[in-house]
Amino acid sequence: MTATVPRENDQLFFIDNEVIIVKVYPTFQLAKVRYLSSMDTFMVDFHVLQPYAEERSSLSISLLGGVL
Amino acid sequence: MILKFIDTPLDGKSWEKLMNSCYRIKFQDEHFTEIPAVHGGDAGIEGFTRKGRVYQCYCPERGYNDDELHDHLRDKMTKDIGKLTSPKYADRLKGLGVPMIKEWHFVIPEYKDSRIISHAETKRKEVIALKNADPSNYDYIDEDFIIVIKQAEDFKVEISRMIRTTLTDMQLNIAIHHTTAAPDWSQCDSEKVENIKRKVKAVRGDGDELDEDYKELVNMYINSYINGMEILKVLRVSYAEVYEDIYMLEQSYKKEVAFKTRMNTNSSINAQLFNEILDDFQKKLEQFKYLNMASIMELKLDLISGWLADCSMQFRSR
């Protein structure tokens, strides 16, 4: 988990996908990012962004049912 | 409302390890026996029970479309049924003391359409035909042999229990995709929207409603508020213990937040106070070791959005 505030155009990992920082909102601990292969942006808490890909396996709740 | 959960890494080894634990819990009364794939191989199965159930795990790569997923599932099933019916593996199965095989389970995270079910039926008929044609060489396969496809959802109870009590390294992911699109205003009470707007202004210290950053932040918090309610509803209905963990933390921390923010009379430190709350709440959420980091941040965002929307978090205007 990154402890420092990222900067625009930094390339970091969101889980195991590389993203580019489009904009940072330090007061709100948020960053607007996009995947390298897409121009669509989305918001994340910048503490989730890491300099390396997440390798630990996790199971999405959508696989366990009860989700539309 | 349809939540788009993020697809997170899930490798074959972790899947296999998780399913071995699930089978151990689920079929303990049938003397479940795991077969490690060392010293002679696993005979094409991960384990068996004394009631003739055997299973094979498979976790496809991510990013396949539906057709690619089906192709990989089909090919893997074909290959492994081929092993089941080959003389080399038959000797190994008998040598391991596997009883007459009644059920062969194909254990996968999910399937998307019925083609794999049809393929399973095709392979079942082939196995039965082989047995009928040569009963003595296929004496290890039951005449009522069936192929069963198992998904993660079939082990929801076992997985939830193991993940929550950290009996497995596997974590749970509840993070969703957050877009920067405008929210569905119909899903959010106007009073909540005004609360969020007022507090974002108070934290920013800038009252310009036409500012693009301001609009993006407000949209994001409204979306997170709406999504957060939906995620918590899913957890409350289907994952009661996980929901209870989160609910109890949220309820107790909400009181602290209300107290801290109401006691502050100095609007110039709104941003500092907000950041302290974000940092502190994140630390509290990180106690849930069974949630991956993306899920921790999801909850942080959604619950904070809720406090901005209702009266739990108050900031004096500048």
Long-range contacts: B126-135, Cβ < 8 Å, 24+? B126/B81, B126/B85, B127/B81, B127/B84, B127/B85, B130/B85
Cross-chain Cβ contact B213/A25 below 8 Å? yes
DSSP state of B160: H
**Residue B254 pLDDT grade (very low, low, confident, very high; cuts 50, 70, 90):** very high
Per-residue model confidence (pLDDT) at position A1: 47
Question: Which DSSP category does B303 fall into?
Answer: H
ipTM over 0.90: yes
Stated as kind and residue range, the H or E segment containing B80 is helix B66-84
Assigned token pair, B245: 């963990």
Alpha carbon B7 to chain centroid distance? 9
pLDDT in tens, B83-137: 999 998 899 899 899 999 999 999 999 998 899 999 999 999 999 999 999 999 9
Q: How many CB atoms lie within 10 A of CB B106?
A: 23
Q: State the average pLDDT over residues B213-226.
A: 92
Are B180 and B219 in contact by the 8 Å Cβ rule? The answer is: yes
For the whole model, what pTM was predicted?
0.89
Torsion angle, CA of B255/B256/B262/B263, rounded to 10 degrees?
A: 140
CA distance B133 to chain A (A): 40
Q: Are B278 and B203 in contact (CB under 8 A)?
A: no
| Cross-strand pairs, B172 | A59, B291
Q: What's the pLDDT score for residue B8?
A: 86
Q: Do the chains contact at B171 and A58, CB–CB below 8 Å?
A: yes
For residue B302, pLDDT over 90 is answered with: yes
Do B214 and B206 touch, CB atoms closer than 8 A?
yes
Q: Between helices B212-238 and B190-204, what is the axis angle to 10°? A: 130
Residue-level pLDDT at B189: 85
Which regions of chain B does DSSP assign to beta strands (E)?
A: 33-34, 47-48, 53-57, 101-107, 141-150, 171-173
Residue B167: pLDDT band by 50, 70, 90 thresholds?
confident
Report the residue of A58, A62, A63 to disrupt the B interface, i.e. the one with the largest count of B CBs within 10 Å: A58
Centroid of chain to Cα A36: 12
What's B249's DSSP letter? H
| A16, A50, A52, A62: best to mutate for the B interface, most B CBs within 10 A | A62
More confident residue, B214 or A1: B214
pLDDT for res B168: 81
Alpha-carbon distance of B24 to A36, in angstroms, equals 42
Angle at B5 between CA B2 and CA B11, to 5 degrees: 145
> Does B205 or B154 have the greater pLDDT score?
B154
Q: Across the interface, do B178 and A29 touch by the CB < 8 Å criterion?
A: no
Extract the tokens encoding A66. 């009860």
Q: Reduced to 3 DSSP states, what percent helix, strand and coil does chain A have, rounded to the nearest 5?
A: 15, 45, 45
A25–chain B nearest CA distance, Å? 8
Tokens describing residue B45: 């199965």
Q: Are B9 and A58 inside 8 Å of each other by CB?
A: yes
Q: Identify all chain A residues contacting B172, using CB atoms and an 8 Å cutoff.
A: 58-59, 61
Q: Which of A42, A56, A68 sits opposite B180 (nearest CB)?
A: A42
The encoded tokens of residue B111 equal 């399937």
- Average confidence (pLDDT) over A32-36: 95
Residue B174 at interface with chain A, using a CB cutoff of 8 Å: yes
Q: Are B10 and B166 in contact (CB under 8 A)?
A: no
Alpha-carbon distance of B53 to B128, in angstroms, equals 16
Quote the CA–CA distance of A3 and B128 in Å, as a whole number.
60
pLDDT for res B128:
98
